[in-house]
Amino acid sequence: MMRDMRVALMVTCINDALYPGTGQAVVTLLRRLGVDVEFPESQTCCAQPMVNTGYLDEAVPVVRNFVDAFAGYDAVVTPSGSCAGCARHQHSIVARRSGDASLAAAVETTSPKVYELSEFLVDVLGVTDVGAYYPHTVTYHPTCHSLRMLGVGDRPRQLLEHVRGLTLLELPAADQCCGFGGTFAVKNADTSVAMGSDKARHVRETGAEVLAAGDNSCLTHIGGLLTRQRSGVRAVHLAEILAATEGGRG
């Protein structure tokens, strides 16, 4: 990492509203690794809910807000493969739709600086052992957008394998989608639940106490099925595992 790099946390709308603990974990983790992460308070959302449902005009002001909020930072870190994927691969579509050349230019500057958490840790900071301690059995679901849109590969695994006390259990059919898919989860609720039920069954088959993933949207879906089934398996974001230490957080 370059010295004096200005790093922003893009917490994501879902984490902001529903999972503040995940955002706090990223802050804890990055500070422990020597990064003085900032939280630009004007940030809101990456606009993916609008883009992926087909509402491109509605996405324009949201993307404009995004590039304004993160202008001037050297890196934007987010605990979401899906939101990072939207920023890197879809903001240009929205900018083109707007017909606004200055927005397109701003997107071109900001998009490549957006990193999913495991990418930032492994590629930018160059660490795989983040000094975490998490004495639990864990199975890991590689979310689709981190796997196929960003190509994070085995970075999350490398990070988990270095966590002391953690036993990683292999998830069968791991690379198959959990069925969340944003508005797909309600527009095609039956199919979404059918996919999620199979994912939840595979999770239970591992016998793990904890299901980990790098996206709380997918975890809301799989975790929602697991708790409805009273399975006793907890869904925990990767960041919260990596932030944990012997003395508790921090």
Partner 1 sequence: MSGTFVGMPAFPQAAHEALGNAQLRRNLAHATGTIRAKRQRLVDEVNANSDWEALRLAGAGVKESALVDLATHLETLERTLTANGATVHWANDAAEANAIVASIATRHGVNEVVKVKSMVTQEINLNEALAAEGIAAWETDLAELIVQLGDDLPSHILVPAIHRNRSEIRDIFLSKMAAAGRPAPADLTDEPAVLAAAARSHLREKFLRAKVGVSGANFAVAETGTLVVVESEGNGRMCLTLPEVLVSVVGIEKVVPTWEGLDPLLRLLPRSSTGERMNPYTSMWNGVASGDGPQEVHVVLLDNGRTNALADEVGRQALRCIRCSACLNVCPVYERTGGHAYGSVYPGPIGAILNPLLRGVGHDDQVDSLPYASSLCGACFDACPVRIDIPSVLVDLRAQVVDAHRGGVPKAEALAMKATAVAFSDARRLRFGERFTGLGLRVAGRVGARKWTSARDLPPAPRESFRAWWKRTDGGRR
Q: Which is nearer to partner 1, 56 or 162 (CB)?
A: 56
Q: Which is nearer to partner 1, 94 or 163 (CB)?
A: 94
- Residues numbered 121 to 140 that lie near partner 1 (CB under 8 A) are none
Indicate which single residue of 7, 8, 29, 47 sits in contact with partner 1 (rule: CB under 8 A).
47
Q: Other CB atoms closer than 10 Å to residue 100's CB: what's the count? A: 14
- 11 close to 39: Cβ distance less than 8 angstroms: yes
Indicate which single residue of 18, 109, 123, 246 sits in contact with partner 1 (rule: CB under 8 A).
18
CB of 92 to partner 1, least distance (A): 11
The stretch near partner 1 (CB under 8 A) out of 49-57, 98-106, 204-212, 236-244 is 49-57
Q: Other CB atoms closer than 10 Å to residue 28's CB: what's the count? A: 19
Residue 153 is classified by DSSP as T
Q: Considering only CA atoms, which of 202, 37, 44, 218 is closest in space to residue 115?
A: 37
Q: Is 33 in the site for partner 1 (CB under 8 A)?
A: no
Instruction: Report the chain's C-alpha Rg in angstroms.
Output: 18
Residue 119 is classified by DSSP as H
Q: Considering only CA atoms, which of 106, 107, 77, 81 is closest in space to residue 93?
A: 107
Q: Other CB atoms closer than 10 Å to residue 162's CB: what's the count? A: 15
Q: Is 107 in the site for partner 1 (CB under 8 A)?
A: no
Structure tokens at 201: 């069954």
Q: Which is nearer to partner 1, 90 or 166 (CB)?
A: 90
Indicate which single residue of 1, 33, 168, 193 sits in contact with partner 1 (rule: CB under 8 A).
193
At 199 the three-state DSSP class reads helix
Q: Is 248 in the site for partner 1 (CB under 8 A)?
A: no
CB of 75 to partner 1, least distance (A): 17
The stretch near partner 1 (CB under 8 A) out of 103-111, 114-122, 127-135, 141-149 is 141-149
Q: Is 243 in the site for partner 1 (CB under 8 A)?
A: no
- Residues numbered 78 to 97 that lie near partner 1 (CB under 8 A) are 90, 93, 97
